[in-house]
Amino acid sequence: MTGSLPASAREAKPTFFDEPALDALVEAVLALAEAQWVVRHRLARLEHWAQHAVEAARVPFDDAYLLPAEAEAELAAECRAFIDRLLDPFHRASSPLPPPAPSG
């Protein structure tokens, strides 16, 4: 189905603001937030691993090391709160669309 669209439409990024620089800024902020959260998640795993040092000598810390379900759930809640804080300025700045103008 995408073969029927012009190449410019298939490759175009969505825009949300009249100023392209604002779209680029938002994209950069969201990319930084994503990278920060990856680091936060890895740090949480490392902290959990280190707190259990008796077991840690037998359990290597690598990408296969998983948090217990309860700790993962707490971290997921923290992530949701982080995203809410990150997007709050956009939610506050957005306003509902005005009602359509009466025709006639």
What is the predicted pLDDT for the residue at 54?
62
Interatomic CA distance for residues 40 and 11, integer angstroms:
33
Taking the domains of the chain in order of start, what are their residue ranges? 17-91
Interatomic CA distance for residues 33 and 31, integer angstroms:
5
pLDDT digits (tens, 9 = 90+) for 50-89: 887 666 667 777 777 888 899 999 999 999 999 988 888 7
Say how many C-beta atoms besides its own lie within 10 A of residue 61's C-beta.
Answer: 13
pTM over 0.85: no
What is the identity of the amino acid at 18?
D
| Average pLDDT for 14-33 | 84
What is the predicted pLDDT for the residue at 4?
72
What is the predicted pLDDT for the residue at 100?
65
pLDDT digits (tens, 9 = 90+) for 24-47: 888 889 899 999 999 999 999 888
Report the mean per-residue pLDDT for the chain: 79
Angle at 41 between CA 27 and CA 85, to 5 degrees: 50
What is the predicted pLDDT for the residue at 56?
62
Please, are residues 14 and 4 in contact by the beta-carbon 8 Å criterion? no
